[in-house]
């Protein structure tokens, strides 16, 4: 070996020094590979359409009296060969001021029947004052066939309307005077 070359005439590669620059490069490369692999494993959420392999039934409007508790109904189901996966069901709620919910996040375990093929949720809501409120419901879950699974993510708005009870004029009015006593219409015999 003359002139510092090996067979083929190429110069030997110098060893990289182990230092902070190498660590940063390795970390950046690892995060880039992880991001690509993660994107490849999780397909994009399936858009809502009439032929989607899933169906969501959600109350469009809930009416209640201020101060009382009403319920928003939500059911997740699969279509055809697809069914809702046992894990990965997540329901997030965003309630405006004046509308309260018992919890802001629901899982499959919170369903009316967690073991059902189509989990159904009864979400209690309560309005403090009369008015219309927009409750945002974000559902994330997976539907699976025997061969593969698809992620589903959707956002819907439920109108919660708090209607003040009607005032009954009869209940608030002063009581009417008692009727006059009935007169005896028989003639008295003297």
- Residue bearing the bigger pLDDT, 166 or 140: 140
| Mean pLDDT of the residues in the chain | 77
Distances in Å between the Cα of 131 and the Cα atoms of 95, 96, 136 are 14, 12, 16
Write the DSSP string, the chain: --TT--GGGPPPPPPPP-SHHHHHHHHHHHHHHHHHHHHHHSPPPPPP-TT-SEEEEE-SEEEE-TTSEEEEEEEEEE-TT-EE-SS--EEEEE--TTEEES-SEEEGGGSSSTTSSS-EEEEEEEESSSEEEEEEEEEEEEEE-SS-EEEEEEEEEEEEEE-PPPP-HHHHSPPPPPPPPPP--SPPP-
Torsion region of 110: left, alpha or beta (phi above 0 gives left; psi -120 to 50 gives alpha)? alpha
How many Å is the Cα radius of gyration of the chain?
A: 34
Residue 90 reports pLDDT greater than 50: yes
Residue 107 reports pLDDT greater than 70: yes
Dump pLDDT digits (tens) for 112-129. 999 999 999 999 999 999
Q: Do 73 and 119 touch, CB atoms closer than 8 A?
A: no
- Residue bearing the bigger pLDDT, 177 or 46: 177
Query: Does the reported pTM lie above 0.85?
Result: no
pLDDT at 115: 93
The predicted model gives 27-44 an average pLDDT of 41
pLDDT at 188: 54
Residue 42 reports pLDDT greater than 80: no
Residue 138 reports pLDDT greater than 80: yes
pLDDT at 35: 37
Dump pLDDT digits (tens) for 50-77. 788 999 999 999 999 999 999 999 999 9
Confidence band for 187, pLDDT divided at 50, 70 and 90: low
pLDDT at 182: 62
Rounded to whole angstroms, the Cα distance separating 145 from 80 reads 9
Rounded to whole angstroms, the Cα distance separating 153 from 54 reads 11
Confidence band for 29, pLDDT divided at 50, 70 and 90: very low
Confidence band for 166, pLDDT divided at 50, 70 and 90: confident
């Amino acid at each position: 070996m003359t002139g510092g070359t090996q067979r083929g005439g190429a110069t030997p590669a110098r060893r990289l020094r182990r230092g902070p620059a190498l660590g940063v490069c390795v970390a950046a490369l690892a995060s880039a590979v992880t991001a690509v692999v993660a994107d490849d494993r999780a397909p994009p959420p399936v858009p809502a359409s009439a032929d989607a392999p899933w169906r969501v039934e959600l109350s469009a409007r809930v009416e209640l009296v201020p101060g009382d508790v009403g319920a928003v109904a939500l059911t997740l189901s699969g279509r055809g060969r697809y069914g809702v996966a046992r894990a990965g069901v997540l329901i997030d709620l965003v309630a405006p001021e004046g509308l309260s919910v018992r919890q802001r996040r629901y899982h499959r375990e919170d369903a009316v029947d967690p073991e059902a093929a189509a989990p159904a949720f009864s979400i209690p809501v309560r309005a403090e004052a009369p008015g219309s409120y927009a409750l945002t419901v974000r559902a994330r879950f997976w539907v699976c066939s025997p061969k593969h699974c698809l992620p589903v993510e959707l956002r819907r708005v439920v109108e919660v309307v708090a209607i003040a009870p009607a005032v009954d004029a009869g209940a608030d009015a002063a009581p009417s005077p008692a009727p006059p006593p009935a007169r005896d219409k028989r003639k008295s015999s003297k």
